[in-house]
Amino acid sequence: MPAMTMIQALNSALDIKLATDPDTLVFGEDVGYFGGVFRVTEGLQKKHGLTRCFDSPISEGGIVATAIGMGAYGLRPIVEIQFADYILPAYDQLVSEAARLRYRSNGEFWCPITVRSPYGGGIFGGQTHSQSPEAIFAHVTGLKTVIPSNPYDAKGLLLASIEEDDPVIFLEPKRLYNGPFDGHHDKPLTTWAEHPMGEVPAGHYTVPLGSASIVREGREVTVLAYGTMVHVANAAIAESGIDAELIDLRSIVPLDIDTIVKSVTKTGRCIIVHEASRFGGFGGELSALIQERCFYHLRAPIERVAGWDTPYPHAFEWDYFPGPARVTKALKRCVEAVA
């Protein structure tokens, strides 16, 4: 299998759908001639034409509203919001229209749209290019929220998302576009060519939404993560020497609660890691679900490691970013807690 970056894997997924499904099309800010700010759509307009991959005005609400109309008429648009920080002008369209269309029309219409957007920090993007807004979409009934952590999953999950008949928010951890990142910003970068999940089939395949992946098996504590935090948590586990089980959620809606419950029932302990701010973050929902289902198996309080409840600070990137040191401390607190 060829080695791909996450950018190349996403590009491959889009290329396959444009080539095989005439109802698909790609549009957004700078995605056509320019190939997207991160080059995820590079070459698609030249290969598939101006009507299949084209630029839009700088209007996130207009981009999503247009996609909803296209979806209701039978197309499968894949739109890009250049940074997840700028998706909020489209939030009303996503919540009031896309998420509700199937229910409101009694199944007569639906909205098979995929909204791609780079999210997260670790690139010194500051407060307006580093946010993690996944929780506000997970809260909306009718939307699915997907977050890959590697090129193999990125391609398979994107293909599965495009083939969904309901709207999908597809958040891409931009710190992982060109290589895995374990949170050690002061160490040399590694590439996806050096990572087993960088091997990506050239053809069509899907990774089912709602299927978590057990990255590492263990017996002392369960660690739940998604996106960049999968790699950070894996590094922290290795450095701590604790026999932790690491689960990559891959999608938060739908959520693979069965895999989570099975693991926490086995270990009796759980740590949740996400990059978004702690208060109101998706970790709170995960904690509640685990408490409801695994209460009599828990041997220690559930721990959460997350971003601080502040705007993302450009000057203090690595103080805000939940790195391996913070995860390691949580691991030790959790396993040392008296049952």
Q: What secondary structure letter does DSSP report for 87?
A: -
Per-residue CA distances from 39 to 31, 123, 141 (Å): 8, 16, 32
Q: Which residues are the active-site residues?
A: 60, 129
Q: Are the CB atoms for 43 and 35 separated by under 8 Å? A: yes
Q: Give the pLDDT of the chain (339 residues) as one tens digit per residue.
A: 789 999 999 999 999 999 999 999 999 999 999 999 999 999 999 999 999 999 999 999 999 999 999 999 999 999 999 999 999 999 999 999 999 999 999 999 999 999 999 999 988 888 899 999 999 999 999 999 999 999 999 999 999 999 999 999 999 999 999 999 999 999 998 999 999 999 999 999 999 999 999 999 999 999 999 999 999 999 999 999 999 999 999 999 999 999 999 999 999 999 999 999 999 999 999 999 999 999 999 999 999 999 999 999 999 999 999 999 999 999 999 999 866
Overall pTM > 0.75: yes
Q: Are the CB atoms for 171 and 117 separated by under 8 Å? A: yes
Burial degree of 62 (CB within 10 A; 0-12, 13-18, 19+): middle
Nearest to 53 by CA among 38, 72, 40, 64: 40
What are 277's strand-pairing partners? 307
Q: Are the CB atoms for 240 and 331 separated by under 8 Å? A: yes
| Ordered domains of the chain (ranges, CATH) | 6-198 (3.40.50.970), 213-337 (3.40.50.920)
Neighbour count for residue 219 (Cβ, 10 Å): 12
